[in-house]
């Protein structure tokens, strides 16, 4: 089959899957409504991390290991639910490009009656019937599960509020920002998404309380906003990551909040995640974890996406060292130092 025909075939298959996912989410929504009261929030898990940090892989693995339903990116504008939050967030821009990079902010708790709180609440009950929150075709037995794993890349600035308002367990995934930025910069799809990133608009010009935290770095933010994409990305990662660290620095209950290291998880294999789940006192099926790990782990030899190629796990983890230019590496390290996160770089 030639390249043009193959692309057409993949496009048709993708469109067919989207239609099937949309139909499935609508058809089985009444079942979710009936079974929502059986969901035990204390058994649910929220996965959070910056874009390209391994959140999808971690969600897939946790969903299989804990026999949980999976809800994908409820804050993503393309799912539609996030647009209802615009009147309460009041962002400086309403276009999809800007909103796609917007991380909603809540300090200690969500405001009662807010759409943001409603989205999280419905996500934890698997009551968001949209093809972009339901990523794959599921068997009917799937809908009887009594727990949910919700995955975010846009929850860093409201993660503590989620922790305070629901008895849910949270796993935040950390990945070396040099690897993150390398991945985003080399894949055109992701680079295009972040090209218009404005630090000042995202962190200082939204009147929802975030400026109270980020204004201490206002001069740094304004300066870095004039620099290239890799520097702006590094700063956005650093400042949102710092907010997470500060939010949970005095956390007493270690069982409900855990930070995992992407590199350590890849190199440590499924045993790494087993230890995390045991420390968090989460019930899981070791055999299901092992099976899913062998299928979805970045250490697997074969991957569907060409971006992965056929590299060894260490090559995938550290290819940025040879492929990310030295000036970008130095700039990222300087930004980490500026925001007192350089101790996390190896």
307-316: b (≥16 Cβ within 10 Å) or e: eeeeeebeeb
* Residues 159, 48 contacting (CB under 8 angstroms): yes
Residue 213 to residue 211: CA distance in whole angstroms? 5
- The two three-digit tokens of residue 338, written as one number: 């500026």
Residue 143 to residue 68: CA distance in whole angstroms? 9
- The two three-digit tokens of residue 249, written as one number: 């620095």
CB neighbourhood size of 44 (10 A): 25
pLDDT of the residue at 23: 64
Confidence of residue 299 (pLDDT cuts 50, 70, 90): very low
| Helix (H), strand (E), coil (C) string for 228-293 | CHHHHHHHHHHHHHHHHHHHCCCCCCCCCEEEEEHHHHHHHCHHHHHHHHHHCCCCCCHHHHHHHH
Range from 47-51, 111-115, 326-330, 338-342 carrying the lowest mean pLDDT: 338-342
**Which domain does 10 fall in, by range?**
3-344
**Each residue's pLDDT tens digit, 183-220:** 999 999 999 999 999 999 999 999 999 999 999 999 99
In this prediction, residues 254-262 reach a mean pLDDT of 90
- For residues 20, 26, 27, 32, the Cα torsion angle rounded to the nearest 10 degrees is 120
DSSP state of 111: P
| CATH number, residue 225 | 3.40.50
Range from 39-48, 227-236, 246-255, 281-290 carrying the lowest mean pLDDT: 246-255
Quote the mean pLDDT of the chain.
Answer: 87
By CB atoms closer than 10 A (0-12, 13-18, 19+), residue 137 is: exposed
pLDDT of the residue at 253: 66
151: three-class secondary structure by DSSP: strand
By CB atoms closer than 10 A (0-12, 13-18, 19+), residue 253 is: exposed
Q: How many residues does the chain have?
A: 346
* Whole-prediction pTM: 0.88
Q: Is the pLDDT of residue 286 over 70?
A: yes
CB neighbourhood size of 246 (10 A): 11
- DSSP per-residue string spanning 35-89: HGGG--GGG-EEEE--TTSSHHHHHHHHHHHHT-EEEE-TT-GGGSGGGGGHHHH
pLDDT of the residue at 345: 73
Look at the chain and report how many structural domains it folds into: 1
**Each residue's pLDDT tens digit, 104-131:** 999 999 999 999 999 999 999 999 987 7
């Amino acid at each position: 089959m030639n390249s043009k025909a193959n692309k057409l075939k993949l496009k048709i298959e993708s469109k067919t899957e989207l239609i099937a996912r949309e139909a499935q989410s609508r058809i089985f929504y009444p079942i979710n409504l009936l079974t929502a009261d059986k969901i035990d929030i204390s058994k649910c898990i929220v996965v959070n991390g910056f874009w390209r940090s391994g959140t999808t892989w971690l969600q897939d693995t946790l969903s299989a290991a804990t026999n949980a339903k999976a809800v994908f990116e409820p804050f993503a504008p393309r799912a539609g639910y996030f647009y209802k939050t615009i009147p309460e967030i009041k962002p400086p821009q309403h276009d999809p490009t800007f909103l796609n990079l917007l991380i909603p902010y809540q300090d200690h708790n969500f405001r009662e009656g807010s759409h943001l709180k409603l989205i999280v609440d419905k996500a934890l009950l698997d009551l968001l019937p949209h093809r972009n929150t339901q990523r794959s075709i599921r068997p009917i037995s799937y809908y009887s599960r009594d727990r949910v794993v919700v995955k975010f890349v846009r929850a860093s600035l409201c993660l503590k509020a989620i922790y305070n308002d629901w008895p849910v367990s949270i796993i935040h995934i950390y990945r070396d920002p040099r690897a993150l930025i390398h991945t985003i910069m080399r894949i055109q799809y992701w680079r295009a998404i972040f090209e218009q990133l404005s630090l000042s608009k995202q962190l200082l010009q939204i009147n929802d309380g975030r400026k109270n935290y980020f204004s201490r770095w206002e001069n740094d933010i304004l300066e870095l906003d004039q620099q290239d994409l890799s520097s702006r990305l590094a700063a956005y990662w650093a400042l949102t990551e710092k907010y997470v660290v500060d939010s949970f620095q005095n956390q007493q209950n270690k069982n409900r909040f855990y930070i995992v290291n992407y590199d350590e998880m890849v190199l440590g294999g499924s045993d790494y995640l087993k230890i995390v789940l045991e420390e968090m006192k989460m019930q899981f099926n070791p055999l299901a974890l092992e099976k899913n790990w062998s299928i979805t782990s970045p250490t697997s030899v074969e991957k569907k996406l060409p971006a992965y190629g056929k590299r060894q796990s260490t090559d995938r983890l550290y290819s940025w060292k040879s492929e990310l230019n030295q000036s970008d590496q130095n700039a990222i390290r300087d930004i980490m130092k500026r925001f007192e996160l350089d101790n996390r770089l190896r």
